[in-house]
Amino acid sequence: MARWNVISESRRAAERRENTGPHQIAATTAGVKPETVVTPRCRDDGVHSITDKLLKVEVGCMSKDTKGESQAVSERQALSAHLEAVREGERKRIAMEIHDELGQLLTALRIEVSLLRQKLLPDSIAVQKAEEMRMLIETIMGVVRSVVNQLRPAALNFGIVPALEWLAEDFRHRAQIACCLHVVGPEPCLSEMHATGVFRIVQESLTNIARHSSASQVEIRLTKSDSEIDLVVRDNGQGFDMLVDRLGSYGFLGMAERARMMDAHLKIDSHLGSGSVIRLRIQDDPPRS
Ligand SMILES: Nc1ncnc2c1ncn2[C@@H]1O[C@H](COP(=O)(O)OP(=O)(O)OP(=O)(O)O)[C@@H](O)[C@H]1O
Ligand SMILES: [Mg+2]
């Protein structure tokens, strides 16, 4: 069970008044000790444009545990990172197998049906049936392509920008919501692990937008500056109340875990009626020679 606790507005207001102490948010997962997350006050991070009242969740880690407890936490985090790597590896392997094996068989079947069609009497019922079979095979090939891409888009092999372009296009098509991708600066140079992590975070953000937001516009902005990559996914939907406990919701927790594994900084901002913003900051990998 997952639970997000956010400090109340009144406490934030009190902190603002006193000009002391950070905004604090605790993220709690079953069996895991609550971690205190700190948002430095008054930091101009450019995300609070939706409204000044936006509540902010930052994902980070400040351990106050005893030695044994923090070792247990690091072991759990290492295990979670390992399981995630295994899962991504499996997805990649299954996607390749479906693409190569099933794809090849379907291509062969399509050729066979086309050859068969040529041998049949023109305008016969058999020719009509052969044509229907060919169209059916085309449909199955489309389904296979879609399954392969859902498992792991081939575009990821070409870098994060082609992968996000594919994701935005797929989202526009499936959700029927306007979605634009802006890439500012040079293309970020990310390792496969980081590119996959960024991709999965954007994918979950878009899934949430399609499921929960009723938005009409989505913007994905990827900015590369010096050694940092800044990714923002913003929607103009109904937003949500971050004070409400979301039992049985794992999307944000998954995002937070991925961000932690990449040593990245994840921030989720939303306010009822004012859309939502997901922001990820990550160190760019040094260019490979
Ligand atoms: N873009 C959004 N617009 C409006 N509400 C959102 C948005 N993103 C998330 N939410 C709200 O936050 C909740 C938590 O999201 P989260 O992704 O953690 O879980 P979920 O989508 O409900 O389930 P899942 O575990 O399948 O992801 C959602 O149930 C929804 O109420
Ligand atoms: Mg979700």
Please state, in angstroms and rounded to a whole number, the distance separating the CA atoms of residues 275 and 217. Answer: 10
* CB 117 less than 6 A from any atom of ligand 1: no
Task: Looking at the structure, tell me whether residues 87 and 25 fall in a common domain.
Answer: no
Greater model confidence, 95 or 14: 95
Helix (H, G, I), strand (E, B) or coil at 4: strand
Q: Is residue 289 part of a domain?
A: no
The ligand whose atoms approach the alpha carbon of 240 most closely is 1
Of all protein residues, whose CA lies closest to atom 11 belonging to ligand 1? 240
d(CA 49, CA 59): 20
Residue 50: per-residue pLDDT: 30
> 275 and 227, same structural domain?
yes
Residues 169 and 141 in one domain: no
**For 260, what's the count of Cα atoms within 13 Å in the CB-facing half-sphere?**
23
Q: Are 48 and 269 in contact (CB under 8 A)?
A: yes
Per the structure, the complete domain to which residue 170 belongs is given by: 157-283
198 and 274 in a common domain = yes
Provide the number of structural domains found in the chain.
3
Q: Choose which residue among 249, 271, 276, 279 to substitute to test ligand 1 binding: the one with the highest number of ligand atoms within 8 A of its C-beta.
A: 249
The pLDDT > 70 percentage for the chain reads 76
Task: Compute the average pLDDT of residues 193-208.
Answer: 95
* Torsion region of 124: left, alpha or beta (phi above 0 gives left; psi -120 to 50 gives alpha): beta
Decide whether any atom of ligand 1 lies within 6 Å of the 254 Cβ.
no
Number of residues that this document lists for the chain? 289
Lowest mean pLDDT among 7-16, 223-232, 244-253: 7-16
Regarding the beta carbon of 205 and ligand 1, being less than 6 Å apart is answered no
Q: How far apart are CA 157 and CA 155, in angstroms?
A: 5
pLDDT > 90? residue 8 = no
Q: Provide mean pLDDT across the span 68-83.
A: 85
Adjacency order of strands within the sheet including 2-6:
2-6, 23-29, 32-39
**Global pTM?**
0.73
Does residue 86 share a domain with residue 8?
Answer: no
Could you tell me if residue 288 is inside a domain? no
Residue 76: partners with Cβ closer than 8 Å, 6 or more residues away: 32
Identify which of 6, 202, 208, 233 to mutate to test ligand 1's pocket (most ligand atoms within 8 A of the CB): 208
In a domain, 180, yes or no: yes
CA distance 240 to 172: 22
Which backbone phi and psi does 221 adopt, to 5 degrees?
Answer: -125, 125
Q: Domain end: 151, 177, 200, which one?
A: 151
Nearest ligand (C-alpha, residue 254): 1
Q: Please tell me whether residues 10 and 111 are part of one structural domain.
A: no
86-120 pLDDT, tens digit per residue, is 988 899 999 999 999 999 999 999 999 999 999 99
Helix or strand run (H / E) with residue 280: strand 276-283
pLDDT in tens, 17-70: 343 333 333 333 333 333 333 233 333 333 333 323 333 444 444 445 577 888
Distance between Cα 24 and ligand 2 center (Å)? 23
Last residue of a domain, one of 151, 186, 204: 151
Residue owning the nearest CA to atom 20 of ligand 1? 249
What is the Cα–Cα distance from 102 to 112, expressed in whole angstroms? 15
Is 55 in the same domain as 103? no
What does the alpha-carbon distance between residue 277 and residue 59 come to, in Å, rounded to a whole number? 14
Ligand nearest to the CA of residue 252, numbered in listed order: 1
Q: What is the mean pLDDT of residues 217-241?
A: 95
| Contact (CB, 8 A) for 231 and 197 | no
pLDDT over 80 at 214, yes or no: yes
CA distance 192 to 190: 6
For residue 220, list its beta bridge partners: 181, 233
DSSP assignments along 3-40, one per residue = EEEE--HHHHHHHHHHT-S-EEEEEEETTEEEEEEEE-
Q: H/E element holding 224?
A: strand 217-225
Q: Of 46, 68, 90, which residue is a domain's last?
A: 68
Q: Is there an atom of ligand 1 within 6 Å of 209 CB?
A: yes
- Do 60 and 81 lie in a common domain? no
- pLDDT computed for residue 36 by the predictor: 30
Ligand 2: centre distance to CA 133 (Å): 39
In the predicted structure, residue 176 carries a pLDDT above the cut 90: yes
pLDDT tens-digit map of 154-169: 889 899 999 999 999 9
Q: Are residues 132 and 185 in the same domain?
A: no
Are 40 and 61 part of one and the same domain?
Answer: yes
More confident residue, 231 or 26: 231
Which of 205, 202, 195, 222 has the alpha carbon at shortest distance from 88? 195
pLDDT of residue 15: 41
In this predicted model, what pLDDT tens digit does every residue of 253-282 receive, in sequence order? Answer: 999 999 999 999 999 999 999 999 999 999
Residue 5 predicted with pLDDT over 70:
no
Tell whether 204 and 277 lie within a shared domain.
Answer: yes
